[in-house]
């Protein structure tokens, strides 16, 4: 992975709808094809810390399409650490492309029922998992811990102060928290959640914000397209048109819904005319393998 590959790219003038000064994209997706976007930032201090503490193995969690799981598998491999993945559901099912890749990077996969998986943050259950797997360094789902949030803060250093608004897609909220804690409060931070009722994350986010940083942010959950991982033809068409005019591939789970939401917000005159908006391309393109035949661009690795 190579953080120096990140660039800021302006969208085609048409996408501004004549409503704002600029809409640019911070291309974190260019860091690495697998350890892409925000996942690298959330993992790097976790892996450094694990090594520093003398661990040889990390253990983490994810679903069968998880960007985090495959990024953790690839990054651990590069750090010379063994990796164990606890996978939700999928028992007896065929391996998805994501899980196949996890295996290729040497991650040992263990499948648990949805019920068992739901205990992933329960201290007693984690204790039993730690014992069972020889006390690996445990990284929560989505890299949602202190090291993950600190890593996400590093993304803020790539954002020039000339932007009035920064927009990011929100899953666990870890990236959003790091950004809000590290960006000047004068920059408005907008989070777009790709799941139903995503605003439940507001509490979780507020808990981790430093007091003097807990302002000028807002979450939206209107653009979920039926729920997490769900999509329709309208969204696919949006992704294809977006690629044709900007040459930027979006992913089907997170960044496509964010950009769709932003284009609606522009239509609704949400932004002041002086706005300069920076959208964060948080990566996730490996997740497009399930819709590869419906996209005009190739994004699966």
Ligand X SMILES: *Cc1c(COP(=O)(O)O)cnc(C)c1O
Give me the residues that bind ligand X (CB under 6 A), please: 37-39, 67-68, 142, 169-176, 251, 254-255, 282-284
Nearest to 33 by CA among 64, 78, 63: 78
Distance in Å, CB of 131 to ligand X, minimum = 28
The position carrying tokens 């908006």 is 277
Distance in Å, CB of 37 to ligand X, minimum = 5
Distance in Å, CB of 147 to ligand X, minimum = 13
247 class by beta-carbon count within 10 Å (0-12 exposed, 13-18 middle, 19+ buried): exposed
Distance in Å, CB of 272 to ligand X, minimum = 26
Give, as one character, the DSSP assignment of residue 190: E
Distance in Å, CB of 210 to ligand X, minimum = 17
CA distance 248 to 134: 43
Residue 272's CB: how many other CB atoms inside 10 A?
12
Q: Closest CB to ligand X among 130 and 291?
A: 291
Residue 70's CB: how many other CB atoms inside 10 A?
30
Nearest to 28 by CA among 296, 279, 293: 279
Sign of CA dihedral 44, 45, 47, 48: positive
Q: Are β-strands 22-27 and 8-10 bridged in parallel, bridged antiparallel, or unpaired?
A: antiparallel
124 class by beta-carbon count within 10 Å (0-12 exposed, 13-18 middle, 19+ buried): exposed
Distance in Å, CB of 269 to ligand X, minimum = 26
Distance in Å, CB of 233 to ligand X, minimum = 21
CA distance 247 to 264: 21
Q: Closest CB to ligand X among 41 and 271?
A: 41
CA distance 135 to 59: 9
Nearest to 186 by CA among 218, 169, 206, 163: 163
Q: Closest CB to ligand X among 147 and 255?
A: 255
Q: Which two tokens stand for residue 121?
A: 């943050």
Q: Closest CB to ligand X among 56 and 152?
A: 152
Residue nearest to ligand X (CB): 284
Would you report the helix, strand and coil content of the chain in percent, each value rounded to 5? 45, 15, 40
Q: Closest CB to ligand X among 63 and 142?
A: 142
Distance in Å, CB of 216 to ligand X, minimum = 18
Q: Give the containing element (helix H, strand E) for 123.
A: helix 123-132
């Amino acid at each position: 992975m190579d953080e120096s590959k990140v660039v800021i790219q302006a969208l085609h003038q048409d996408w501004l709808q004549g409503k704002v000064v600029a809409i640019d994209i911070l291309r974190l997706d260019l860091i690495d094809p697998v350890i892409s976007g925000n996942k690298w930032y959330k993992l790097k201090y976790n892996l450094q810390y694990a090594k520093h503490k003398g661990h040889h193995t990390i253990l983490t969690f994810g679903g069968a399409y998880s960007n985090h799981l495959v990024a953790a598998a690839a990054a651990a491999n590069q750090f010379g650490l063994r990796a164990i993945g606890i996978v939700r559901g999928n028992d007896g099912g065929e391996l998805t492309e994501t899980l196949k890749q996890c295996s290729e990077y040497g991650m040992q996969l263990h499948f648990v029922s949805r019920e068992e998986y739901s205990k992933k943050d329960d201290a007693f259950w984690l204790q039993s998992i730690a014992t069972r797997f020889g006390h690996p360094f445990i990284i929560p789902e989505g890299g949602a811990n202190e090291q993950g949030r600190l890593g996400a803060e590093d993304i803020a250093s790539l954002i020039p102060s000339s932007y009035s608004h920064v927009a990011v897609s929100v899953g666990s909220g870890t990236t959003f928290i790091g950004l809000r804690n590290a960006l000047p409060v004068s920059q408005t931070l907008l989070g777009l959640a790709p799941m139903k009722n995503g605003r439940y994350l507001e509490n979780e986010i507020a808990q981790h914000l430093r007091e003097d940083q807990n302002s000028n942010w807002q979450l939206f959950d209107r653009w979920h397209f039926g729920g997490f991982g769900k999509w329709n033809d309208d969204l696919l068409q949006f992704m294809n048109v977006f690629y044709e005019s900007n040459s930027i591939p979006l992913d089907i789970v997170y960044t496509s819904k964010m950009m769709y939401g932003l284009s609606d917000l522009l239509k609704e005159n949400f932004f002041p005319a002086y706005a300069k908006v920076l959208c964060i391309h948080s990566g996730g393109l490996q997740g497009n393998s399930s819709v590869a035949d419906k996209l005009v661009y190739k994004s699966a690795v």
